[in-house]
Structure 1
Amino acid sequence: MRNIIFILLLFCPFLLLAQEVDRTLINGFITAPASEDIEGVSVYNKSTQKGTVTNDKGEFKLEVGNNDRVLVTALQFQSFTVIVDKGVVDSKTMKIYLNPAVNQLEEVIVRPYDLSGNIVADVNRVKTYTFVPKMDLSYEALNFEYEFTADALTKVDGNAAEEALHNNSLKNGANLLGIIGLLFPKDINIDLITNKSIEDRLQISRTLRQRFSNAYIFETFEIPKEKANDFLFFVEEHGLTETMLKAENEMKLLDFMYKQSELYKNNREQN
């Protein structure tokens, strides 16, 4: 029995040597799309736990044997393992083509202001502010540091409708101050009444001008731009009130303006 064990121990080194794989130094070549850098690609033989990296031409040298597993890795390429076969060992050449890595990101939905899609909830979350300028930004109140001479675009002097509105001199040929003087007792300050009325009318006129441009009137009510001022005077003379200009009455104001635009266009056609 001892002799058998001795013989087995005697032949074990020869058996282990017989299991060693003969490895050959091969020349490797890495190729990739023209725009990709192939320098510094890692080529690692997992069977021998030895590796190397490619030069600027994508070339490398590595000892491999039949059925060795060679791992190829790089940040810009897809990693994969190559199994060495007898053809690679015999030719002492390995050619590897690399595909650029494509990272597929998870779907990201970008919404402005973190909207949830629920109209009611989103509207309630929106912060709104009411801006009331302390300065009068109307065209009439702006001061320009330029002098303009009269030309073809200068407005025509003697516009009776505009003068009646802004100067309160005549209304349909009648003096407003005289009419108001007849309606109220003499002990009432007529100047205070007329001044307040004039200021209200001017405020309405300025507000209309700020909110409705010539282009808007043309696109919305189909009224020529050159008739925009005349149309606004028409609206003021046919029932427009300061209450309609409040924010909560926006729809009422637009409905009123639309109806008045139809009347205005009918009057123009008849005239």
Structure 2
Amino acid sequence: MRPFLLFVCILFTSIAFSQQDEAVDQEITAVVVNAQNEKTMESVHVINLNQVVGTITNEKGEFTISAAVNDTLYFSFLGFKSQKIRVTNDMFKFEDTKISLTELAYALEEVIVRPYQLTGYLEIDVKNLPINNAYQYSISGLSVGYEAGNKSASAVTKVLGAILNPADLLRNLFGKQPNQMKKLRKMKEDDQIRDLLASKFDREILMEMLQIEKVDIQDILNNCNYSKSFITTANDLQILDAISSCYEDFKVLNRKN
């Protein structure tokens, strides 16, 4: 009976150590290729969605990134379908792992170009040109960006008006998902992720990080008093900065309350 009990103890101990090893962060090395022709792809962005770290592939299509078993890696490259891969034990054991990306097929529709009706008088033509109010500007020494154009409320007023509504998304997201907000801060600190977000307008990475839908992001920014023009035309990095700014205002008000 005692040998059997000893065997059981050893078995459970080995299983426990095995599970601990799986959770330990290691480095994965793999290569990204074009699914159509098997050619290696340079400058593909790779993000670990769980640990919020990023990197890019080298001239041979290779990349190395910190990860643990069951982490999710996100691959993005212009003109190719974004890909999510779950990290497995085999990816650590074998160094010949290949990740294939598929090219996007675009159906081009007829485009009608309507030139501006210019009069030849500069003062009149300038007034008739459409104005984009979606720009953001920054002030040296401050880490927060600001939207250009007239705004109807101050930073405190816009958040105060939002959090007084108990069903508001700001309270639901910021109050109940603090870990997601921590991810946003990490994203702002990673240069590779910031570079990728600055080139994207699809909100995919933000949706993956926050685990919300695109419409929820729009609602958050609406409640933070950002203009429709900014919400629809800003790149993903500007959207990240806008959400982070609103979150910081939300924390200030919560401390006062």
- Same fold judged by TM-score > 0.5? no
**TM-score, L = length of structure 2:** 0.32
**Greater gyration radius:** 1
**TM-score, L = length of structure 1:** 0.30
* Greater relative contact order structure (CA < 8 Å, 6+ sep): 2
